[in-house]
A and B are shown apart, each in its own frame.
Chain A
Amino acid sequence: MTMRLMDGSEAIVEAAIQAGLRFYAGYPMSPATELLEYMAEKLPHHEGVCINAATEIEGVNMALGAAAGGFRAASGSCGQGLALMQEAIAEAALNETPIVIFNMARNQQDYFQATRGGGWGDYRTITLAPKDLHEAVEHAQLAFHLADKYRVPVIFMGDNLLARTQMGTTLPQLDLEPLPPKDWQLDGTSGGTGKSRQIWTFGCGKTNDPGPGPSKHWERIAAKFDAIAEVEARHEQGFVDDAETLVIAFGSGGKFVEHVVREMRADGHKVGYFRPITLWPFPGDALEAASQDCKRVLVFELNAGQMIDDVKLNVRDRKLVKAIGGVSFDESGLNLGPLMDATVIRERIALAINGASQ
């Protein structure tokens, strides 16, 4: 298949449409604006609809509506917009409506609100954090698959580098297991299976099919997220077997850390890398295994310390864990700052190692 040069935003949109996306509603916000623009350009050519909503709250609720009709639907924004969407994401989790939220973040300060379940109720959101365009093409497909498979909202975590860096891609398609038909979808008729009436946050049904009721419903939802956590954690790691120092990062940061660790390995340092691919479920068992013999665990993230909480929960001794990232924006406040740089990351890893040995 021929290679095409495209930026990450366009590649994500192409892959999502290939995966069956037919409805997108969002409000422009840099660096998520290009995603909306490509959606507007491309979806109408695939019997799809793209709406420039008046707000992020409107956009995500439109997506919720389209998804209730059985369509693969998504919304998108960046961090502050994702904050506005939290109530709708919680509703989607509790009423079991599969939607995908593309969060093209300005930085990495979205970790908590993506992974903790930022609205009301006992739920989490599956969060996929690709390291580059090629993985983003995979995740754009996987996001819709997981959303439909579990009837849950899924967050796709991108950033400025992912949105705007251009790469050659053939847009390879993942071979994913077939999913059952959506017998719960609203089809606009008053007949049908009747299962669509269960699409309600409180889990109440109707007179001749009362449904589980709120308590049983929410208990079952919570159990579903526990079951997802058991099987859907994904990660990538390298050089962990004899690593004295393990460096953990996600998304673009994970790609930078992998690059730096490979360089340091070539220079003889006993360093390894670990990258959560799913931020939730966090690959805690894998991290525990990878870090079991390490002297120190370094966390590189462009925030004041968010993922580091999950890291501390999953290593043998939380005192081994040290932050080497920090808040870092460029002067516009819309983009990653000077910390996202291989030379700087290497200096910080070296400082953590040398500082510890003194």
Chain B
Amino acid sequence: MELDLFISGIGGQGIQLVGKSLALAAIRDGRHVMLAGEYGGHMRGGSSVGTVVIGATPLKALPILPHAGSAIAMSHLFWERVGSRLRPGSLVLAEETISADLPDMDKHRLVKLPATAIATEQGSRMAAGMVMLGAYAALTGAVKIDSAVAAMAEQIPSYRRQHIEANERAIRAGAAAVTPLAFAVDFDSAAKDVA
């Protein structure tokens, strides 16, 4: 099985950082991973979409996903690029303040999270994406929370290392703010099934 995810938002919200952290965390957990950005026009204020696919066995996914089964929505702007490609019944983890502006949520499983408020409580309003990362990991079982923290710290550039602590608090607070889904993935038994 492959867990596929779109992360959608506005350039500057840390969309690509969330995707990279999730992908690196999955590598730490021994998974097969693909990480793709949707290129062109990546700039502050423009559309930013990241794509992550995680599996226990070598991946079949295309580098441009026609469909996915889950999404993180950091903004309602540019959502149509992602929303139209979600399979019915997808998990949509949305920033609470914009969730009402996402269309067709009756077709999906919407989980609202006040990520920006939680990040602010944890001391860094900019870490809303990290809250989402922790929440997504806890909801789905995609990666271990400790792996997500280590992956975030692993790639942060030297001139931003002062943000590691707040990011870690944000990831853990996000994980604590949600209840794991009943159908959270179990890559290990999926791998055994294949073997």
Q: How far is the CA of A221 from the CA of B84 in the complex (A)?
A: 55
Q: How far is the CA of A3 from the CA of B59 in the complex (A)?
A: 14
What residues of A have a CB within 8 angstroms of the CB of B26 in the complex? Answer: 168
Query: Which single residue of chain B is at the shortest CB-CB distance from A159?
Result: B63
Query: Which single residue of chain A is at the shortest CB-CB distance from B33?
Result: A168
Please pick, from B33, B60, B62, B63, the residue contacting A5 in the complex, using a CB distance under 8 A: B33
**B62, A342: Cβ atoms under 8 Å?**
yes
Q: How far is the CA of A335 from the CA of B63 in the complex (A)?
A: 14
Please pick, from A134, A164, A340, the residue contacting B58 in the complex, using a CB distance under 8 A: A134
**B62, A330: Cβ atoms under 8 Å?**
no
**A166, B62: Cβ atoms under 8 Å?**
no
B27 touches A (CB below 8 Å): yes
Q: Encode contact with B along A322-342: 1 for CB under 8 Å, 0 otherwise.
A: 000000001110010000111
What residues of A have a CB within 8 angstroms of the CB of B66 in the complex? Answer: 341-343
| Contact-residue size bin, chain B (C-beta under 8 Å from the other chain) | 20 to 34
> Which stretch, B36-44, B103-111, B130-138, B170-178, touches the partner chain A?
B36-44
Nearest-CB distance from B45 to chain A (Å)?
17
Query: Which single residue of chain A is at the shortest CB-CB distance from B55?
Result: A168
Q: Encode contact with A along B11-28: 1 for CB under 8 Å, 0 otherwise.
A: 000000000100110110
**A132, B63: Cβ atoms under 8 Å?**
yes
The residue in B26, B59, B60, B66 that gathers the most chain A C-beta atoms within 10 A of its C-beta is B66
B31 touches A (CB below 8 Å): yes
B32 touches A (CB below 8 Å): yes
Q: How far is the CA of A166 from the CA of B51 in the complex (A)?
A: 10
What residues of A have a CB within 8 angstroms of the CB of B23 in the complex? Answer: 5, 166, 168
Nearest-CB distance from B112 to chain A (Å)?
29
What residues of A have a CB within 8 angstroms of the CB of B40 in the complex? Answer: 330-332, 335
B residues contacting A by CB (< 8 A) are 20, 23-24, 26-27, 30-37, 39-40, 58-60, 62-64, 66
**Listed A/B pairs (5) with beta-carbon separation below 8 Å:** A5-B33, A132-B63, A168-B31, A168-B33, A340-B64
